[in-house]
Amino acid sequence: MTQLPATTTRKLGLVIDLDTCVGCHACVISCKGWNTENYGAPLSDQDPYGANPQGTFLNRVHSFEITPKEGTAKLVHFPKSCLHCEDAPCVTVCPTGASYKRVEDGIVLVNEDNCIGCGLCAWSCPYGAREMDMTENVMKKCTLCVDRIYNENLPEIDREPACVRTCPAGARHFGDFNDPDSNVSTLSRERGGMDLMPEMGTKPVNKYLPPRPKDEAIDILAPFLDPVAEEPQGFLGWLDRKLGALPGATPKEGEN
């Protein structure tokens, strides 16, 4: 039985804001693109334009309609990938040691040269975060873009997971949970970061920020909405006024 490391120097992971995610799937596409080009063997697709398309994706977004006790139904988008659990069952069940957890940063990876495609790690993962690549016949998973975050050939701003770098809504955050002052630690502490299925005892590193109550969300957006609300011609009038104020804009007739 493979033993997990007792401690790690860093504990890298993600905080995902369910209140901010708009379900655009930009994280899915950027993950697929980066890892197809840089994973080693491309993430394969089978019959992508046919009647039964299938493929390997390391990040997926699920959408759920929820109805609070009071209020109207709300659509919540739920991104999901490997949570890099502290007590990762995929590591302990792997018969070849292909699945392992790094001591230096806690990232769970797969050594594909040792993977025999038995699928035991997928069976043991309570989150469904493992993907069998049907072309390579090996198990693949989120690597937290380990080839990006330590790549000194990339600009420092790009040394974060592709999904985080590309999220247009700023719903994904990357950092070190062992640092109490990091962005992810602060967000998780202040916004009540939650474990996914804590009853499984896997101690997932990644945290989810729950959707805010409606009134709180409105209060946060108010400074941005007030100028629009005060515009007699609504949003288009406000936007037109903002564009007209940009350097080089041509004043309209009647304007100074």
Residue closest to 163 by CA, chosen among 62, 56, 28: 28
Same domain for 131 and 231? no
5, 7, 70, 115, 199 from 104: Cα distances, Å = 10, 9, 46, 22, 27
Q: Please give the torsion angle defined by the CA atoms of residues 20, 163, 32 and 78, in that order, rounded to the nearest 10 degrees.
A: -30
- Inside any domain, residue 42: yes
Q: Which of 28, 56, 30, 58 is nearest to 44 (CA)?
A: 56
- The answer to whether residues 91 and 200 belong to one domain is yes
Q: Assess whether 91 and 129 both reside in one domain.
A: yes
**Residues 134, 199: one domain?**
yes
Kindly state whether residues 59 and 183 are assigned to the same domain: yes
Backbone angles phi, psi at 82, to 5 degrees: -60, 135
Asked if the structure places residue 116 within a domain, the reply is yes
Report yes or no on 4 lying in a domain. Answer: no
Q: What is the pLDDT of residues 84-128, one digit of tens each?
A: 999 999 999 999 999 999 999 999 999 999 999 999 999 999 999
Q: Which of 36, 34, 83, 28 lies closest to 193, judged by CA?
A: 83
pTM score, two decimals?
0.78
**Residue 9: its pLDDT value, please?**
85
Q: What's the CA gap between 184 and 190, in Å, rounded?
A: 10
On whether both 217 and 124 belong to a single domain, the answer is no
Domain span at residue 70 reads 12-209
List all residues 6 or more positions away from 137 whose beta carbon is below 8 Å from its beta carbon.
117
Q: Cα(26)–Cα(169) distance, rounded to whole angstroms? A: 10
Q: Is residue 59 part of a domain?
A: yes
| Assigned domain for 254 exists | no
Query: In this structure, are 117 and 185 located in the same domain?
Result: yes
pLDDT tens digits along 117-141:
999 999 999 999 999 999 999 999 9
pLDDT of residue 224: 47
Instruction: Determine, yes or no, domain membership for 240.
Output: yes
Do 187 and 236 lie in a common domain? no
The domain tally of the chain equals 2
CB 83 within 8 A of CB 196: yes
Backbone angles phi, psi at 140, to 5 degrees: -130, 160
Considering the domain architecture, whether residues 110 and 27 belong to the same structural domain is answered as yes
**How far, in Å, CA of 180 to CA of 125, rounded?**
28
Residues 197 and 227 in one domain: no
CATH for 16: 3.30.70.20
The answer on 239 and 161 residing in a single domain is: no
- Given a cut of 50, the residues of the chain with pLDDT beneath it are 1-5, 218, 220-225
